[in-house]
Amino acid sequence: MFDITIFDHAHLDHLKKALTVYTRRHRVVSENIANVETAGYRAQEYRFEELLRKAGRGGLRGTQTHAAHMPIGARSLRDTEGETAAQDGGYDNGINDVDVDSEMTSLATTELSYRLATRVLSMKYNQLREAVSGRVR
């Protein structure tokens, strides 16, 4: 009958995906900071936004009528996965290529983004809870 539910309109999947991306990025940045004095260590970065942009450029998206069919066209946010790759920074601290100042900035930015996404997700769940229980503000 209806493919769209109230949960789809709340963008819960998008917020959950954002939390996953921020968690993975936090892990990669933390590893970089932990290895700041490891000789020969190559700094990593978690790339998601670039891959998401590329996935969105696919134009029209075909409908899959069977689970075994290959997806055609643009990929959805749900289907887009990030990747961990070596940074292209060209920074050299004398031991490896980890720029601890840049990594700490990235860690703080990721933490703030994660907190914002959790707060928005919590607000969305509260709105749904109030709608289901019939309470109106």
Q: Tell me: the pLDDT tens digits for 70-124?
A: 666 655 556 667 778 888 877 888 888 889 999 999 999 999 999 999 999 999 8
Question: Is residue 108 classed exposed, middle or buried when 0-12, 13-18 and 19+ CB atoms within 10 A define those classes?
Answer: exposed
Q: What is the CA 16 to chain-centroid distance, rounded? A: 9
Question: Are 96 and 33 within 8 A, CB to CB?
Answer: no
Name, in order, each residue with C-beta under 8 angstroms of 92's C-beta and a sequence gap of 6 or more: none
Question: Are 87 and 47 within 8 A, CB to CB?
Answer: no
Question: Are 22 and 124 within 8 A, CB to CB?
Answer: no
Q: Tell me: the pLDDT tens digits for 51-70?
A: 777 665 655 566 777 777 76
